[in-house]
Amino acid sequence: MVEPLLENRDYTVIAAKTASSVTPTSPGFTTSWVAAHDAVMALVKKCEELDPDGITLYISSRQEASDSFKQSRKVTPDKLESLFEANYPPDSLNLLDGLQAALDDYFAQKAVGQTKANGEIIIVLIDGEPHDRMAIARAIVHATQKMDRDQELGIGFAQIGDDLIARGFLTALDEDLLTNAGAKFDIVNTRVLETIGERCLTEFLLDIVRR
């Protein structure tokens, strides 16, 4: 049975990959995104199951002019593999570009009455520490100020790999924005992807909006 709180929502996935996470540093070592492949696909497919008209997907991509995120709309499971493989990631991560684009898109749709009744969940798959940490925190706090109700928007960070600095940053987003940074609502939940497991995907998504 699908939880009503997760139905009638849009789902956006931001795949914030960096080059170091997809290129082996030593022979015999599995890169973090390869190791997490099945878990990533399971999570994205769960979002698509709840959003049958297709999720919105942002993937970090090294482009000629800049390192940014490419957006694909109405993504279904059969398109996932090719989209993940088609974009080579940048060396460093400017997560703000992808997150701000997703937030702006949500509030633009809301302004014209085109969001779904329960709102949206944004999932950020991240493997390292972004270099725009304070700007990310401010963007999330600003987004909460534009919300009308607690559960209309949630952001879930699923960490790939074991970067301890990144984990500390995500923990701070999870625990400090409401109490110390002026957020109107607590909309962030963070987990290490490998601890979620396929049986716990629904629980993870619920925790994002049921704070």
pLDDT value of residue 207: 92
- 31 vs 184, which has greater pLDDT? 184
pLDDT value of residue 106: 97
pLDDT bracket for residue 112 (50, 70, 90): very high
Instruction: Say which CATH number the domain at 158 has.
Output: 3.40.50.410
Cα dist. 137→10, 110, 144, 155, 174 in Å?
A: 22, 22, 11, 12, 10
pLDDT bracket for residue 64 (50, 70, 90): very low
pLDDT bracket for residue 37 (50, 70, 90): confident
Strands (E), the chain: 10-16, 55-62, 67-75, 120-126, 153-159, 188-192
For the whole model, what pTM was predicted?
0.90
Q: Which stretch of 58-72, 106-120, 169-183 has the lowest confidence by average pLDDT? A: 58-72
- Helices (H) and strands (E) counted in the chain, each on its own, are 7, 6
- Cα–Cα distance, 49 to 41 (Å, whole number): 12
* Phi and psi angles of residue 7, each rounded to the nearest 5 degrees, phi first: -85, 165
pLDDT value of residue 26: 41
- Total number of domains constituting the chain: 1
- Asked whether residue 167 carries a pLDDT value surpassing 80, the answer given is yes
Mean predicted confidence (pLDDT) in 175-190 = 87
What residues make up the domain containing 103? 4-209
Amino acid at 101: A
Strands (E), 95-204: 120-126, 153-159, 188-192
pLDDT value of residue 21: 56
